Amino acid sequence: MNLNASNILIVKYSSLGDVVNAIPAVGFLRKSCPKARIHWLVKKEYEGLLSGSPLVDEVVLYGDFFGTVRKIRSLNIDCVVDLQGLFKSALIGYLSGAKVRVCFPHTREGSALFYTRRVGLPRRGVHAIVENLSVVEGLLGKKSAGGRYPAISLNGDTRARVREILGGRFKGFIAVSPTSRWRTKMWGAGNFALFSDMLIERMGVDVVFTGVGGDSGYIEGIRAKMKNPSLNLAGKTDIKTLAGVFSEAGVVVSCDSGAMHLASATGTPVVAIFGPTDPSYTGPFNKNSLVITSGADCAPCRRRSCGGLKCMEGITPRMVSEGVERVLSRKV
């Protein structure tokens, strides 16, 4: 398809991991349509990830529904690429006035009514990054070179802030992101404490915990169970500073979370702890990374509540510690 669009709107407003996983698709779109203006609709909390990016001409903040629609209509959008696939995102695209509105095949909440085309791969064993890329490939009628991330822009101020908050002692460190929005994705404070002590004592590395402000108390609980000192950066980083911290780490250890995807996007090796979710779809998209699972026969179930959590309880601190050693020794 010869896409003759001068104003393109990307609709992918949440969550962090989903926004990160859409970046390669938008990178391919930018490369293929260098003269088009690309606007990205995103929630305020993720604005920092996209601001200053060469992929986007304008970040449009998702706020009041009707105010958002008025803003979008003023942009004279002629093509909408909806990578959210929900009723509200589809309705925004329809109300934009764009004549071309595309999404992937497996839309939800009746959103298919609002698209002019549904293109791309079916969601069967396909990573989210490949899925998003396939929508743009279907729109343009040509294949991309693959799903590599365009670089997340980190300026000198961001790197200076990273050096400041890490301090001189934390020059070689392992970053640990121990929280997730789903309780069933959480590995447990005791496991993270034992694992972190193993790393420090066996490898002589420093451990730096990351998270949002609300994670600080949970992380302090982990640190209280540890025998060795560590650093808690929860609430001390914005998205780009967090990306900067991950880019300086030797390895990032994380549950399935937005932070895991952000770490993967920096190119730093990731050791990801997976239970109820499917790593083939939401695992780290990074060739130097490793996924740790228990092999439970009930996983992946994608349940947000579970009485047993066999899939997570079967993962031991030693399994994760040995995974980190494998990644650092380039034996993945």
My answer on whether 216 and 190 are in the same domain is: yes
Q: Specify if 146 maps to a domain.
A: no
The verdict on 118 and 216 lying in the same domain is no
How confident is residue 147, by pLDDT bands cut at 50, 70 and 90?
low
pTM above 0.85, yes or no: yes
Q: Is residue 150 domain-resident?
A: no
Task: Give per-residue pLDDT as tens, 261-293.
Answer: 999 999 999 999 999 999 999 999 988 899 999
316 and 178 co-located in one domain: yes
- Going by pLDDT thresholds of 50, 70 and 90, the confidence category of residue 145 is confident
Interval 212-217 mean pLDDT = 97
d(CA 105, CA 115): 10
Same domain, 182 and 302: yes
pLDDT of the residue at 146: 72
Q: Which residues contact 70 (CB under 8 A, 6 or more apart)?
A: none
What does the pLDDT read at residue 52? 86
Last residue within a domain, chosen from 93, 110, 140? 140
Residues 256, 216 share a domain: yes
Looking at residue 292, its amino acid is I
Indicate whether 102 and 192 sit together in one domain: no
103 and 166 in a common domain:
no
Tell whether 151 is covered by a domain: no
Beta bridge partners of 291: 272
> Tell me: the pLDDT tens digits for 164-188?
999 876 667 999 999 999 999 999 9
What is the full DSSP assignment across 114-165?
G-SEE-S--SSS--HHHHHHHHHHHHHTS--S--PPPPPP--HHHHHHHHHH
* Range of the structural domain that residue 207 is part of: 156-328
DSSP alpha helix (H) spans, the chain: 16-32, 47-50, 65-73, 87-95, 128-140, 156-166, 189-203, 216-225, 239-248, 258-266, 279-282, 310-313, 317-328
Domain of residue 167, CATH code: 3.40.50.2000
- As a whole number, the mean pLDDT across the chain is 93
Same domain, 91 and 23: yes
* pLDDT at 310 > cutoff 80: yes
- As a whole number of angstroms, the distance between CA 77 and CA 66 comes to 16
Whole-number pLDDT of residue 332: 45
Same domain, 121 and 169: no
Is 126's pLDDT higher than 70?
A: yes
> Which of 115, 140, 165 is at the close of a domain?
140
Q: Verify that 177 and 317 share a domain, yes or no.
A: yes
For residue 153, pLDDT beyond 60 = yes
Judgement on whether residues 199 and 125 belong to the same structural domain of the protein: no
- For residue 149, being part of any structural domain is answered with no
Domain count, the chain: 2
The helix/strand/coil state of 308 is coil
